[in-house]
Structure 1
Amino acid sequence: MVPKRAVDRQSPVPLWSQVQDDLRRRLSEGEFDTVFPGENALVTDYDVSRNTVREALRGLRAEGLVTAERGRAPRVRRAEIEQPVGTLYSLFASVEAAGLTQRSDVRVLDVRADGVVAAHLGLEESTPLVHLERLRRAGDAPLAVDRVWLPATVAAPLLDADFTHTSLYTELAARTGTRLESGHERISAQVPTEGERKLLECGEDVAVFVIERTGIAQGRPLEWRQTIVRGDRFAFDARFSARGLHLAVAPPAPPPSPPPAPVMPTAAGT
Structure 2
Amino acid sequence: MGPRALRRADGRPLWGQLQDDLVRRIHAREFDAAFPGELALTEEYAVSRYTVRQALAQLRADGVVVAERGRVPRVARPGPPPAIDQPVGEAYSLFAAVEEAGRAQTSEVRRLERVADGVVARRLGLEESTPLLTLERLRLSDGEPLAWDRAWLPWADAEALVGADLTRTALYAELASRAGLRVDGGRERIHAEVAEPAVGKLLDIPPGAPVFRIERLGTAGERPVEWRHTVIRADRFHLTASFGASAAPWSIQRDDVYLGGAR
Q: Shorter-chain TM-score: what band?
A: 0.5 to 0.7
- Structure 1 CA distance, aligned partners of 2:104 and 2:181? 26
The alignment covers a number of residue pairs equal to 200
Is 1:165 the equivalent of 2:168? yes
CA contact (8 A) 1:185 1:212 kept: yes
- Structure 2 CA distance, aligned partners of 1:156 and 1:142? 27
**TM-superposed deviation, 1:182:** 1.1
- Structure 1 CA distance, aligned partners of 2:205 and 2:92? 25
Change in CA separation of 1:134 and 1:20 when aligned onto 2, cut-off 3 Å: farther
Instruction: Look up the match of 1:174.
Output: 177
- Equivalent position to 1:195, from 169, 194, 198: 198
Instruction: Look up the match of 1:216.
Output: 219
**TM-superposed deviation, 1:16:** 3.2
Instruction: Look up the match of 1:42.
Output: 65
Q: Deviations over 1:170-226 (max 9, x none)?
A: 000000111012100000101111110000001245210001000111311000001
**TM-superposed deviation, 1:160:** 1.8
Instruction: Look up the match of 2:235.
Output: 232
Instruction: Look up the match of 1:260.
Output: none
**TM-superposed deviation, 1:39:** 3.9
TM-score scaled to structure 1, two decimals?
0.66
Q: Trace 1:147-158 onto structure 2 (pairs within 5 A).
A: 147-158=150-161
Instruction: Look up the match of 2:27.
Output: 16
CA contact (8 A) 2:211 2:233 kept: yes
Q: Which residue identity does 1:118 align to in structure 2?
A: A
Structure 2 spans left out of the alignment, 5+ residues = 4-24, 35-59, 252-263
- Structure 1 CA distance, aligned partners of 2:214 and 2:117? 19
TM-score scaled to structure 2, two decimals?
0.68
- Structure 2 CA distance, aligned partners of 1:47 and 1:156? 58
Change in CA separation of 1:40 and 1:220 when aligned onto 2, cut-off 3 Å: closer
- Structure 2 CA distance, aligned partners of 1:21 and 1:231? 28
CA contact (8 A) 1:19 1:46 kept: no
Q: What is the percent sequence identity of the aligned residues?
A: 47
Q: Which residue identity does 1:16 align to in structure 2?
A: H
Higher Cα radius of gyration:
1
- Equivalent position to 1:241, from 244, 250, 257: 244
Query: Which has the higher mean CA deviation after the structures are superposed, 136-145 or 37-46?
Result: 37-46
Instruction: Look up the match of 1:73.
Output: none
- Tell me the secondary structure at the aligned position of residue 223 of structure 1: strand
- Structure 1 CA distance, aligned partners of 2:122 and 2:206? 35
CA contact (8 A) 1:130 1:155 kept: yes
- Equivalent position to 1:137, from 132, 135, 140: 140
